[in-house]
Amino acid sequence: MRLVLVGVLALAPLLAREPLAQRIAHTDPSRYRPVPHVHAGAGELDFMELFDSHVFGTNLIFLHRGVLPPGGGIGHHYHNQMEEMFVIFDNEAQFTIDGRTSLLKGPAGAPCRMGRSHAIYNPTDRPTQWMNIAVGSVKGKYDNFDLGDDRVGVPLDPKPVFITMHLDRELLKPVEGMDGGRGAVRYRRVLQPEVFFTNWAYVDHLVVPPGASVGKHRHIGVEEFYYVIQGEGTARVNQESAPIHQGDAVPILLNDAHSFENTGSRDLEFLIVGIAREKGKLDTEDLK
Nearest to 20 by CA among 268, 272, 235, 246: 235
pLDDT (0 to 100) of residue 282: 80
Nearest 5°: the CA angle 158, 162, 164 is 90
Mean pLDDT of the chain, nearest integer: 93
The pLDDT of residue 187 is above 90: yes
Q: In what order do the strands lie in the sheet with 33-36?
A: 33-36, 44-52, 60-68, 128-136, 82-88, 108-112, 165-166
The pLDDT of residue 4 is above 70: no
The pLDDT of residue 241 is above 60: yes
Report how far residue 270's alpha carbon sits from residue 164's, in angstroms, rounded to the nearest whole number.
18
Q: Give 5's pLDDT tier (boundaries 50, 70, 90).
A: very low
pLDDT (0 to 100) of residue 16: 59
Q: Give 288's pLDDT tier (boundaries 50, 70, 90).
A: low
Q: What is the pTM of this model?
A: 0.93
Domains belonging to the chain, first-starting first, are: 12-166 (2.60.120.10), 169-286 (2.60.120.10)
pLDDT (0 to 100) of residue 281: 77
Strand, helix or coil at 93?
strand
Strand blocks (E) in 144-221: 145-146, 165-166, 173-176, 184-191, 200-208, 213-218
Radius of gyration of the chain (CA): 19
The pLDDT of residue 3 is above 60: no
Strand, helix or coil at 268?
strand
The pLDDT of residue 6 is above 50: no
The pLDDT of residue 64 is above 70: yes
Nearest to 60 by CA among 4, 141, 149: 141
> Quick one: average pLDDT of 179-196?
97
pLDDT (0 to 100) of residue 195: 97
Strand, helix or coil at 78?
strand
User: Position 55: which residue type?
Assistant: V
Strand, helix or coil at 241?
strand
Task: Express each pLDDT in 104-139 by its tens digit.
Answer: 999 999 999 999 999 999 999 999 999 999 999 999
Residue 92 burial by CB count (10 A; 0-12/13-18/19+): exposed, middle or buried? middle
